Amino acid sequence: MSSKLSKVTTQTIRKQSLWEVHNRRCFYCDKVLFLSDCEIDHLIGQDLKKKPEERKRILNYYRLPQSFDIDSLTNQVPCHSMCNNKKGSKRYSKNTVLHYIEQAKSKSQKVNQLENYYKTTLQKNRGEGLIKMILKHGLLSTSEVIRITRYYETSKPKLIDPTNVITFCLNINELLESDYLPEDAPREYPYLCDWLNDNLLEHLASIISTPYYPVEDSRDGETFGLRIVFFKLKQKEFSNFSIGWWEIFHEGTFTRVYGEPPSKYFKKVKKS
C-alpha cells in the first residue's frame, strides 16, 4: 500500500476522529449520533472560499482574523444529516458562532491527535492490526479493502445480516397544513409526535408478521423522524404500507447503518 493516504481516506479519518472526540453525539441537538449518519458541518460555510469579498465581510462581522482557516478543526463539527440539512446555508449570530468555534477549538487538539494516530496506523500497514481497524471503523476506500482482503484470504467469515433499518420522517408544519390528519389527532408538537409514533407502530403491526423494534426518534420542533429495525422483513408485506404522510428518509441493513452486527444489541430473534 502506498504511504500516501487517499483524499477519501483522509476525509473519513477526519469524520471518525471528530465523531469520537465529540462523544458520538450531534453537535447541534446533542443526541446520540451513529457514524453512518454523521456529517461534518462547517460552522462558517465552505461556500465563502469561492466568495473572497463576502468571506472578508463575514470574518470581520464575527471579529475573526482574515487568516481564519475554514477547513480547520476549529470550524468543523459532527452532526446528524437532518440537523445539517436544517441548518442549510444560514448564518448564525455573532455570539452563537464565536461560542460554537470556542467549543470546537476546545476539542481540536484531541481530534488532531486521534487523526494522526489513525493516519500513522494505516501508513504502517501492519497486517492484522490494520484489518481490525478496517472492520471496526471502515477507514479505507473500496479498492484498498479489496487489495488487503485478497492478501488475507485464508480466513473468509460469512457475515449475514438479515435486518432492515428504515428511517421514517416528515415535516410537522406541512402535515398540519394538509388535510391528512384525522380530527382526533393532537395538534401540539410533542403530543402529535407521540400520536404519530403510536399510529405508525399500530399500522406496521397490522401488515408486518416479522419482529421489528423502534430504536431512535428525532424531534427538532419542525420535523419528526423514527428509525425502526425490522428482522427478516418481507417486502411483499411492507408493500402494503399506506400512511401517506411518512417519507422513507434512509434504508439499509443494521450492520451498514450502525457499523456493528445486530447480535450485539438484540437477543436472538425467533423465526416467524
Q: What is the pLDDT of residues 48-59, one digit of tens each?
A: 888 999 999 999
* Exposure string for 255-266, b = 16+ CB within 10 A, e = fewer: bebbeeebeeee
pLDDT band at 142 (very low <50, low <70, confident <90, very high): low
Predicted structure pTM score: 0.49
Which of these CATH numbers, 3.30.470, 3.30.70, 1.10.3470, 1.10.3120, describes 163-264? 3.30.70
pLDDT tens digit sequence for 222-266 = 889 999 999 989 989 999 999 989 998 888 888 888 777 887 777
pLDDT (0 to 100) of residue 222? 87
More confident residue, 91 or 213: 213
pLDDT band at 148 (very low <50, low <70, confident <90, very high): low
Q: What is the rounded distance in angstroms from the CA atom of residue 195 to the CA atom of residue 127?
A: 52
Residue ranges of domains in the chain: 7-151, 163-264
pLDDT (0 to 100) of residue 57? 92
Phi, psi for 229 (deg, rounded to 5): -100, 125
Judge whether residue 152 has pLDDT over 50.
no
Question: What CA dihedral angle connects 131, 133, 134 and 135, to 10 degrees?
Answer: 90
